[in-house]
Amino acid sequence: MTLPTLHTLKNGVRVVCDPMPGLETLALTVVAGRGAGYEDPARSGWSHLLEHMVFKGAGGRSARDIVEVIEAEGGSINAATGYERTSFQVRALKGGAGLAMAVIADLVRRPTLDAGDLAREKQVVAQEIAEAADAPDDYVFDLLQKGAWGDHPVGRPILGTVDSVEAATPQALAEWRAALYAADRLVISATGAVDEAEILALAQSAFGDLPATPGAPIPDPAPFVGGAFAETRKLEQAHLVLMLPAAGSRDDDYFALRVFAEALGGGMSSRLFQEAREKRGLAYNIDAYADTYADIGGLGIYVGCAAKDAAETARVCAEQVLALVERIEPAELARCKAQLKAHMFMAREQPLARAEQNAGQALTFGKLFPPAELAAGVDAVTAEDITRLGRRMLDPARAATAVLGAKTALSAGEIFRRTLFDGR
């Protein structure tokens, strides 16, 4: 089996090459290990705005040219901004690595940042902000983010605000681009029908002369502050997001958190699905998830239910958390491990997901993990680990809750807290 390799150029740019024999396509992603979590309030939303702006023109190509030159060869191009990283991604047919690298290098290094384009794109982003506010199952997560992480950059929406986005100028965005996409936290990751020697040569040609200057400094990890947000809206459903402080990707409890979330609400056999949906009929959508960053994380629960059932559903969620902290059955633990490993290996069969995973490992750990090592981490989780992690999450008696819906739903966050903590 061919294993991925990790190389570092002289200027600090890292290159991951991960061939997948038998494929006729490839994925190339260039990941800058900085994002919205690095912004101060005045630049809130600028990382996302910049990601939009580089597609308006770069390296002498127009916005249309950037897309057409990739699609003319059967490929596709996309980008994404998160709190800890910004990714530029191309899927292409075998042999398309050179064009993909050239186009992404132009986006990252040589965007036009035209004033007229910026004025128009501010309007587009303002509409995106309005759309997110109008979508309750998006907006409730923004409320939750604020409740969990407070005034830290991770507590602010990735999109920013209309005012903060409006303040951006071409020159200010150019300076932010240099800080955001600096060589010290840039990873080029290629997967699929790729050749290691070719990828290294392309990376050196496209990024080897990038100045080795440090970019925006890594912010201190966000403390989990815990907070409650509830807003009345005329909706058919109430939307609830409930979170407890947990573990980050570099934490020894990371795998225990993933198993805990899987057991609580990861699938149709999970406790929340069986108790809240199948047994009680309280909710159609209900799941639990591990929301992890490098050094911080949370255990989250999302529920969409009738407003009249919101408080009872929140109580059931808290009860299931408490019950899981006390005991996980051996068969349940084994099933959750099997599910996690299946998700992991299935993702490894998708070139783009694999390229992004490799880039994330290089950024967070400075190395790559063989799938067998990750699987061993999952297998090593014990029932005692689940209990210890659960008590750790409950120990500060802090939770973040966000509720959106009719007035009858707004007590759900308080019910969740009271059920979890008042008996302690």
Write the pLDDT tens digit of every residue in 156-176.
Answer: 999 999 999 999 999 999 999
Question: What SS3 state is found at 405?
Answer: strand
pLDDT, averaged across the chain: 97
In CATH, 5-207 is 3.30.830.10: yes
Residue 330: Cβ-neighbour burial (10 angstroms; 0-12, 13-18, 19+): exposed
For the cut 90, the answer to whether the pLDDT of residue 202 exceeds it is yes
pLDDT at 3: 79
Asked if 96 and 75 touch (Cβ cutoff 8 Å), the reply is yes
In CATH, 228-421 is 3.30.360.10: no
- Please give the structure tokens belonging to residue 24: 């006729």
For the cut 60, the answer to whether the pLDDT of residue 424 exceeds it is no
pLDDT at 1: 59
Mean pLDDT score, 111-128: 98
Asked if 362 and 17 touch (Cβ cutoff 8 Å), the reply is no
pLDDT at 423: 67
pLDDT at 188: 98
For the cut 80, the answer to whether the pLDDT of residue 110 exceeds it is yes
Give the C-alpha separation, 291 to 195, whole Å: 34
Write the pLDDT tens digit of every residue in 7-39.
Answer: 999 999 999 999 999 999 999 999 999 999 999
- Listing DSSP states for 271-287 in one string gives HHIIIIIIIT--EEEEE
Question: What SS3 state is found at 234?
Answer: coil
What is the location of CATH 3.30.830.10 in the chain? 5-207, 228-421
Mean pLDDT score, 345-352: 95
For the cut 70, the answer to whether the pLDDT of residue 102 exceeds it is yes
What is the number of other CB atoms lying within 10 angstroms of the CB of residue 34?
Answer: 29
